[in-house]
Amino acid sequence: MTNRGWVTLPRPMPHHGKIPRPTAKRLSLYLRELESRIGQGETTISSKQLGQALGLTDAQVRKDLAFFGQFGHPGIGYPIGELIARLRSILGTDREWHAVVVGAGNIGRALLAYGRFQRKGFRIVAVFDDNPRVIGSDLAGHTVLAMSALPALVRQQDVKIGIVAVPAEAAQAVADQLIAAGVPGILNFAPKRLDVKNAVSVVSVDFSVALEQLAFQVSLGFTGSLDEE
């Protein structure tokens, strides 16, 4: 059974053992909004302001932030800079993560061109494919490598993230190879659930699912946003 509901924080985090899953998902959203505001020169923010920007209640914001320390100031709000530093440290984006892309097709190509990865601390260090016609070709500055080169590269470059950008039929096999090579995190773009036997972390991004959710809402005439929860 997949671990659900709670996420355990490592020891060095002061007296905050567990974070509910929905909270964990909102952390990125808080960070995004805070980064945008500090860029505008703002230095503090209240739970109400932050909630408003994200479509959440102020109480929700406070509860979420309370999970990892209390450094809001009554009557003032939260110091944006500190909050950003803390969120980055919790989310792990204060470190640099080496990633590999498997699959030199459309999605792989788009990911390599997508500058935002670098800015968030993720560095794509290699691209793999198992199609002999693609291996050796150049993709946005990377020579496409054969899958057989994966384990050595993962070891040498300390790769932590494997991005699965292959068709659904090949996705499970690729995931198995990534796991075998020792990659602890998988970002899955294939429209297929990956069975990772609880050995690694997986997050999936599926356009078709997103599109279906949207079609569903539109056909119901439902209005509002289904993305911030």
Partner DNA sequence: CTTTGTGAAATTATTCACAGCA
Partner DNA sequence: TGCTGTGAATAATTTCACAAAG
Interacting residues with a second copy between 113 and 132 (CB under 8 A): 113-114, 116-117, 120-122
Q: If we measure between CA atoms, which residue out of 160, 169, 151 comes closest to residue 200?
A: 160
Q: How far is the CB of 219 from DNA (least distance, A)?
A: 20
59, 149, 152, 211: which one binds a second copy (CB under 8 A): 211
Contacts (CB under 8 A) with a second copy, residues 129-158 = none
Residue 78 contact among DNA, a second copy, none, beta carbon within 5 to 8 Å by kind: DNA
Q: How far is the CB of 151 from a second copy (least distance, A)?
A: 18
- Is 147 among the residues that bind DNA (CB under 7 A)? no
Contacts (CB under 7 A) with DNA, residues 61-90 = 62-63, 65-66, 70-78
Quick one: 56 or 159, whose CB is closer to DNA?
Answer: 56
* 27 to 66: interface string for a second copy, x by CB under 8 A: xxx-xxx--x----------------xxx-----------
- Taking the C-alpha atoms of residue 13 and residue 75, their distance in angstroms, rounded to an integer, is 26
| Number of neighbours of residue 53 by Cβ within 10 angstroms | 17
Residue 40 contact among a second copy, DNA, none, beta carbon within 5 to 8 Å by kind: none
- The answer to whether 202 and 218 are in contact (CB under 8 A) is no
What is the chain's length?
Answer: 229
Contacts (CB under 7 A) with DNA, residues 13-52 = 20-23, 46-48
E-state strands within 107-197 = 122-129, 138-139, 142-143, 145-146, 161-164, 185-188
- The answer to whether 181 and 152 are in contact (CB under 8 A) is no
Cα angle for residues 81, 205, 126 (degrees, 5° grid): 80
Residue 58 contact among a second copy, DNA, none, beta carbon within 5 to 8 Å by kind: DNA
Q: If we measure between CA atoms, which residue out of 107, 155, 102 comes closest to residue 130?
A: 102
- Taking the C-alpha atoms of residue 81 and residue 93, their distance in angstroms, rounded to an integer, is 15
**Secondary structure of residue 19 in the 3-state scheme:** strand
Q: How far is the CB of 109 from a second copy (least distance, A)?
A: 7
- The answer to whether 199 and 175 are in contact (CB under 8 A) is no
Binding site for DNA (CB under 7 A): 4-6, 20-23, 46-48, 56-60, 62-63, 65-66, 70-78, 229
